[in-house]
């Protein structure tokens, strides 16, 4: 069977079960329980200018979902981080994109594994781990200023919405309602009360107060939920968790990867046709550079810094002494490879320069340099990473 050019998968990087590959080449078993039952969970971690957004909170939610499914986390937090950062760097090399100027989405999926078809949660299986990176599209200036249209519908999905499950047919149906109506999102109600949208958390604004749904099993708590709460506290805006009635006349603010969507104030929610886009004055009180609803690009400033690289390597399974590959990416310029070679010799006097691997970006602007050094201790690797990372010609070190 041939694939039409319109449906051909790109050769962008991904990770599958311990191997780095591309979307074109990665393969899973037809008996993977994620394929047969949707028996798995997923997580999506934004990366702004190459920096992972609230990574610790994303990992905590991944752990909660895995615990609900009785699947052991197959990797440590440090290993998840290492893979994500490598994919970001590989994506930049493959596409020629500048990491510090682009935003990506790291998609993580863990399923129970491969077995003959049987409904119970079979023990002892090896989880399937898949991770890919995709570009993130931020909202336009017009969307920020005016918002976008959305529709509403009854929430017909299951009552374990707090699990970030790969079983997303309910969300597919819900999102299609807005697509058919020419809107961006579908805001859903359980009975008379607001729950969430097809692929978004929802906050409502009334009388200058921001309200969010309770943190319970009926909604998937977005990572931005805590961010909105923090921002409101900093900006002096009241934040109140609670159930909002369908009949309440409010401005409904929807945050999905930074996209704004509003039911304008004074227009009742609960419509099956799109409400005209409108702006929320309460949201406008939040600085555009800090708000999780309008613009996530500066959100890292409001979050704890990523753990140092030493913490990531502390969680990895390195045995000393051993040969250890390090990928360095920087602008393709005269003296760049020599500078990396000098640093490698500084930490490994027996370093063999003939083992250096070079990979040019698609546009030829960047050069990936892989050096393989003899790792003798975690302290040695930590100092080597610090030295490479602070070199003016280096952009990313993995």
pLDDT, position 7: 67
Integer Cα distance of 385 and 380 in angstroms: 9
Identify whether the C-beta of residue 349 lies closer than 8 Å to the C-beta of residue 343: no
Integer Cα distance of 118 and 114 in angstroms: 11
Residue with the larger pLDDT of the pair 319 and 104: 104
Tell me the pLDDT band of 149, cut-offs 50, 70 and 90.
Answer: confident
Identify whether the C-beta of residue 252 lies closer than 8 Å to the C-beta of residue 184: no
357-360 vs 251-255, strand pairing mode: unpaired
Which of 21-30, 84-93, 263-272 bottoms out in mean pLDDT, i.e. has the lowest? 263-272
pLDDT, position 84: 95
CB contact set of 355 (below 8 Å; sequence gap of 6+): 371, 372
Residue with the larger pLDDT of the pair 31 and 359: 31
> What is the chain's mean pLDDT, rounded?
79
- Tokens read off for 324: 């250890």
Rounded to an integer, the average pLDDT of 239-252 is 68
pLDDT, position 273: 47
Tell me the pLDDT band of 2, cut-offs 50, 70 and 90.
Answer: low
Integer Cα distance of 201 and 222 in angstroms: 6
Would you say the C-alpha torsion 345, 348, 352, 353 has a positive or negative sign? negative
First-last CA distance in the chain: 38
pLDDT tens digits, 152-171: 888 888 888 888 999 999 99
- Is 164 catalytic? The answer is yes
Give the pTM.
Answer: 0.66
Q: Which of 51, 164, 327, 395 is catalytic?
A: 164
Distances in whole angstroms, Cα of residue 65 to Cα of each of 102, 127, 169, 209: 29, 14, 18, 31
pLDDT tens digits, 57-91: 899 999 999 999 999 999 999 999 999 999 999 99
Nearest to 187 by CA among 124, 125, 273: 273
């Amino acid at each position: 069977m041939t694939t039409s050019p319109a449906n051909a998968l790109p050769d962008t990087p991904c990770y599958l079960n311990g191997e780095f590959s591309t979307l074109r080449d990665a393969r899973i078993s037809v008996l993977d329980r994620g394929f047969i039952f949707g028996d798995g969970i997923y997580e999506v971690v934004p990366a702004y200018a190459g920096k992972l957004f609230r990574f610790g909170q994303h990992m905590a939610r991944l752990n909660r979902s895995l615990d609900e499914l009785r699947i052991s986390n197959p990797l440590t937090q440090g290993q998840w981080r290492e893979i994500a950062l490598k994919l970001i760097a590989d994506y930049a090399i493959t596409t020629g994109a500048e990491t510090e100027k682009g935003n990506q989405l790291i998609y993580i999926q863990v399923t129970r594994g491969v077995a003959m078809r049987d409904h119970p949660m079979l023990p002892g299986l090896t989880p399937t781990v898949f991770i890919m990176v995709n570009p993130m599209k931020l909202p336009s200036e017009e969307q920020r200023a005016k918002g976008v249209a959305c529709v509403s519908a009854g929430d017909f999905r299951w009552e374990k919405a707090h699990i970030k499950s790969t079983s997303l047919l309910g969300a597919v149906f819900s999102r299609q309602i807005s697509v058919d109506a020419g809107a961006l999102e579908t805001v859903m109600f359980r009975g008379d009360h607001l729950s969430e949208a097809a692929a978004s958390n929802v906050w409502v604004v009334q009388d200058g107060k921001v309200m969010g749904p309770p943190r319970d099993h009926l909604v998937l708590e977005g990572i931005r939920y805590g961010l909105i709460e923090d921002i409101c506290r900093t900006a002096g805006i009241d934040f109140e968790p609670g159930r909002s009635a369908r009949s309440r006349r409010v401005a409904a603010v929807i945050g999905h990867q930074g996209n704004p969507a509003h039911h304008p104030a004074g227009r009742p929610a609960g419509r099956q046709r799109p409400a005209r886009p409108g702006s929320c004055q309460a949201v406008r009180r939040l600085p555009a550079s800090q708000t999780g609803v309008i613009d996530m690009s500066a959100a890292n400033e409001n979050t704890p810094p990523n753990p140092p690289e030493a913490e990531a390597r502390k969680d990895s399974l390195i045995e000393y002494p051993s040969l250890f590959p390090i990928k360095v990416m920087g602008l393709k310029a005269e003296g760049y490879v020599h500078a990396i070679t000098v640093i490698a010799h500084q930490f490994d006097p027996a370093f063999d320069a003939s083992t250096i691997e070079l990979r040019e970006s698609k546009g030829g602007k960047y050069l990936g340099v892989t050096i393989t050094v003899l790792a003798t201790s975690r302290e040695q690797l930590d100092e080597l990473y610090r030295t490479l990372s602070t070199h003016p010609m280096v952009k990313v070190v993995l």
